Structure formats: C-alpha cells, structure tokens
Amino acid sequence: MFSNRLFNVLVPIISVLLGLIAGAIIMLAFGYNPIEGYIALWNGAFGSSYFFGETVRQATPYILTGLSVAFAFRSGLFNIGAEGQVFVGWLAAVWIGSSLDAPMFIHLPLTLIGAALAGAFWGFIPGLLKATKGVHEVIITIMMNYIALHFSNYMIRYVLTDGSDTTDRVLPSASLASEWLLEITSFSRMHWGILIALFAAVVVWFLLEKTTAGYELRSVGYNPHASRYAGMNVKKNIILSMVIAGALAGLGGAMAGLGTFGYMPTHSAFTNLGFDGIAVALLGGNAALGTVIAAFLFGVLKIGALNMPTAAGVPSELVEIVTALIIFFVASSYMIRWILLRFKKEEK
C-alpha cells in the first residue's frame, strides 16, 4: 500500500508519463521518430542558455496564474477567471509603468501593486456576487474574462493611445527586464519576474498553511457549514479568496507587461496564460510547491515544442497535438487518481 504523500506525487508523474507515451504513439503513427522528437523537445527547453531562459520566462506567469487557481480552489472556489485577471493586471502594469515618472524603488513596486489591485478587483466582483447572491463563480468569472479582453482592447486603442494597436513601452524604472540576464541567456526574454513569482509561491504557502487566515480559508473550502458553526465569516472568506486569487493572476499579467513584452498589444483572442493556470494548478495538486514544479513543466512543453519542427521534422500541428495530449492526461489526473485508488483497494 502506498502512503498518501507518495500517492500525491505518483499521480502527476504518471499523468505526465502517460501523456508522453500517447504523444509518442501519435508521432509513430504518423511516421516520425518519437525519440528524436522528445530529444528535440528536451534540447528546445534546456539545450542552450537561450532556450533555458525562454523556458523560465514562460514558466513565470504560469506560476502566478497556477497559484491563483490553486488558492481559490483551496477555499472551495473554481477561478476560471485567471485569464481575465491577467488582462487587467497587464493593462494596469503597462499603464502605470509607462505614464509615471519616479525612481525604480518606488515606480516598480507601485506598478506591481497596481497590477495586483486590478486583478484583485476583477476577482472581487465574482467573489462578492457569490458571497451575497449565491451566483456561481464559474459563470461570472467566464463572463469577466470576455469583459477583460474587450475592455483592455478598448483602453489600449482609445485611452492609452490614439487608435494604436500597442501601448507605449514601460519606462526602465518599471521594467523587469535586465541587461545582465539578457547577456547570460544569449538574449532570451527572461526577466526578474521569476523572483517575484517564486516569492509569491512562498507567500501563498505560508498564508495557506501557517496562518489563521489560511486555516479559515481551507476550512471554508472543505466545509462552509462547519466553518459557520465554528464562528468563521464564510462570506468574507469567499470574497477574500477571490481577491487574493485575482491579485496573483493580475501579477501574472504584470510579468508579461513589465518583463516579456514591455508593452501591451491589443488581443484578438485570449492569451491562455490564465486557462493554462488551471491545468498547472491541477497538476500541482493545488499546493504552492507543486504549482511551481508544474509551471516549469508547462514552460518546458511550450518552449521545447518550438524546436521539434526544425530539429526532428515533426510538423508543428503534430507538436501541438502531442503537447495537448500531455496536458489532457495531466488534466485527467483525477481519472488516474481514481484508477490508482482502485488498485490500492484491490491490493491484498
């Protein structure tokens, strides 16, 4: 019989392996060599300092959106709205970052706080509706995603610029990009945001596992009735949870605005940074450390896959199917958990 802890580690590992095997079968079926394909994937993620920098760069917002979904989940809420929270966070970061003139030690924190607040506000609305009117957060957060997408486009075109498709660049005093990182990673877009994301993971871990506020949030997530009986304010906790989740995803948006791009373009579709955060959180078991690891894995898949067409000749459409399969198995880790549990029962 496996212990519970081992079990929690085993499930995501098996999910990833199954995804890789399924991807291999697809590549074989279409006449490509899966071993070459996966070597290309590996090299594409770790093969040079440039690729590694890009992988870290890609993982950075995933950590934050993953934490956002995980945090809400631990208090019993399903935050589908990380995507929209990324948009408003990005917008706020770029706006403050490009329009204010202040020394870095004031400007950068202020910009980050602005992004967090924007995301927090975007989480606050569904939280408030859930707490006071009992409206399901999934429905509201999905609608808030669309509002965020079109609202950001409008703001970029008509408020931040005069009909342009991109905003101004953020000023150096609000930028996370760094000459030094640029040099050591051969001009990848890796930026200091990774430190902010890792710091956020530590804060989330501490808050959830070590504080009275975290105790309440977890308790409300597991059993709102017992929490109310015990004197906790369930409504307050629902709102608080969505606000914090929103702030984390908003920071995820700031990573794009202050680090990767340095500006914000209008979008015709979602970035998927927030949606992928759902899979990241699931794979990470909704725990802080797990989310960080899962975010890196997603970074590896996204960036490494770019190398597969050139290095192994696998067409990029097929690469997308392979990565989607891996994500599929990861997302179905609940199914794998269920199957493992059956084995566990039948043992002996």
Partner 1 sequence: MDNYVVEMLRIRKEFPGIVANNNINLQVKQGEIHALLGENGAGKSTLMNVLFGLYQPEKGEIRIKGEKVNITDPNVANDLGIGMVHQHFMLVDTFTVTQNIILGTEPKKNSVVDVKKAEEEIIALSEKYGLHVDPRAKIRDISVGMQQRVEILKTLYRGSDVLILDEPTAVLTPQEINELMDIMKSLISEGISIILITHKLKEIMEVCDRCTVIRKGEGIGTVTVKDSNPNELASLMVGREVSFTTEKTPPKPKDVVLSIKDLQVKDIRNAMMVKGLNLDVKAGEIVGIAGIDGNGQTELIEAITGLRPSESGEILLNNKAITNMSPRKVTESGISHIPQDRHKFGLVLDFPIGENMVLQTYYQKPYANKGVLSFKRIYDHAKKLIEEYDVRTPNLYTAARALSGGNQQKAIIAREVDRSPDLLIAAQPTRGLDVGAIEFIHKKLIEERDKGRAVLLLSFELDEIMNVSDRIAVMFDGNIVENVTPEETNEQELGLLMAGSSKEKAGES
Residues within the interface to partner 1 (CB under 8 A):
1, 210-216, 218-219, 222-223, 225-233, 347-348
How many CB atoms are located within 10 Å of the residue 29 CB? 10
Tokens of 106: 């004031």
Q: Which residues contact 256 (CB under 8 A, 6 or more apart)?
A: 61, 86, 90, 264, 271, 273
Tokens of 340: 């493992």
Taking the least distance from each CB to partner 1, the nearer of 150 and 236 is 236
How many Å apart are CA 156 and CA 87, to the nearest integer?
11
How many Å apart are CA 68 and CA 281, to the nearest integer?
8
Task: Return the residue matching tokens 């070590």.
Answer: 210
Task: Return the residue matching tokens 């791009």.
Answer: 261
Q: How far is the CB of 312 from partner 1 (least distance, A)?
A: 45
Residue in 164, 123, 152 with CA at minimum distance from that of residue 268:
152
Taking the least distance from each CB to partner 1, the nearer of 11 and 303 is 11
Taking the least distance from each CB to partner 1, the nearer of 28 and 289 is 289
Taking the least distance from each CB to partner 1, the nearer of 213 and 311 is 213
Taking the least distance from each CB to partner 1, the nearer of 154 and 222 is 222
Q: How far is the CB of 146 from partner 1 (least distance, A)?
A: 34
Taking the least distance from each CB to partner 1, the nearer of 169 and 228 is 228
Task: Return the residue matching tokens 């490509």.
Answer: 32
How many Å apart are CA 95 and CA 251, to the nearest integer?
14
The distance in angstroms from the start CA to the end CA of the chain is 9
How many Å apart are CA 283 and CA 145, to the nearest integer?
23
Q: How far is the CB of 204 from partner 1 (least distance, A)?
A: 15
Residue in 67, 160, 151, 149 with CA at minimum distance from that of residue 116:
67
Taking the least distance from each CB to partner 1, the nearer of 13 and 226 is 226
Residue type, 120: A
Taking the least distance from each CB to partner 1, the nearer of 12 and 221 is 221
The SS3 of residue 168 is coil
